[in-house]
Structure 1
């Protein structure tokens, strides 16, 4: 009897110890999980400081862009100015235009909107009659032409409206998409599909665009050669 009683007591003690151990482990696990879900004050301060620094950096970058003429669509007076403008900005879109070409005015409207939206990119316009050397160097033969310049080098061209649906009634979103294909702006949409709004209504047709240079591509008859 005494032996049985002793064994039962030992068993109960072991059971109690196991339950206490399991409870302690469970409490520790809960504490760890809570710590993961709720960062301590030091971690929260680090996260806040990182966000603050990121915001400051973004604001400084914005001010730097604005100081270099980003955020507006503006005309430069000569080809000499072109070289200085592209030298000081990573991404530049330059519209080579003629006053006599109506389609240049259509393009102006869309570029003015995008310049305000995409301040990471500089948007310029240059009269081809004031830039004969530059037009020859860049092989600009069709008006309007957009030269897309990254890191001081001409990466791509948008010649006429052939990449914009072959229509005068293309949307600003379509031009934005095309610029995004060349990575000259930060584009948040789907590059695989152009925003072909009113495509059926106007019978527009979009040319498949890759990221290679499209220099020399011709556009429709309303543009000046």
Structure 2
């Protein structure tokens, strides 16, 4: 009895789906030339707007990861660009170099945001105002207002060898870049390798040597 009920539901669902497909095909077949021309024009207009927006972003410095030399320059950047990602760094901090590597990859990929870096030793007022205590810190600025911070690597898996995708995911969580992936699942959250698989196929020396560096973040 239960099987017949289930079978009946499946047939009903299939019929509903088939009807919806038929209705959509009929709608497309009945489109007039004027309708098609309007759709084409809207699409072209949309593409033109996107191209103009990209050109505006590029003119404002988007697409590159650059350094702002002064606090005034930082504020100018946040006024010109809606979305700004600023790396507050020190030359002496090793982990800043790691972050630089990932930001250089993301900047040309996400034209919708401006990627910059600022030496905290040249920006004492801003550093104090934003209460930046740990280096590196990423400041997320939207519409000239600081909305979020990524402090150190804690939210990036708490490891030096986090992926660029992990940083991209975290920035998307801050709503500062466009992202097509799953915002609920971090890219680096993969199942841990079992001891058995290590014994069967992994190089034990790589496993031993794979530990992270000692702490290298600076704290004021």
TM-score range, shorter chain: 0.7 to 0.9
Larger radius of gyration, structure 1 or 2? 1
Partner of 2:101: 109
Partner of 2:54: 62
Aligned residues: 175
- Do 1:171 and 1:197's aligned partners in 2 also have CA atoms closer than 8 Å? no
The yes-or-no answer on 1:82 pairing with 2:74 is yes
Q: Structure 1 residues 72, 52: closer, same or farther in 2, change over 3 A?
A: same
Q: Structure 1 residues 49, 168: closer, same or farther in 2, change over 3 A?
A: same
Moved over 4 A (4+): 33-36
Consecutive unaligned residues in structure 2, runs of 5 or more: 1-24, 194-213
Mapped partners of 1:199, 1:100: distance in 2: 35
> Normalized against structure 1, the TM-score is what?
0.75
Deviation at 1:197, TM superposition (A): 5.8
Q: Structure 1 residues 106, 44: closer, same or farther in 2, change over 3 A?
A: same
The yes-or-no answer on 1:222 pairing with 2:216 is yes
Deviation at 1:198, TM superposition (A): 6.2
Mapped partners of 2:191, 2:117: distance in 1: 28
Partner of 2:183: 191
> Normalized against structure 2, the TM-score is what?
0.76
Match of 1:170 among 143, 151, 162: 162
Mapped partners of 2:218, 2:81: distance in 1: 29
Consecutive unaligned residues in structure 1, runs of 5 or more: 1-32, 202-219
Q: Structure 1 residues 41, 126: closer, same or farther in 2, change over 3 A?
A: same
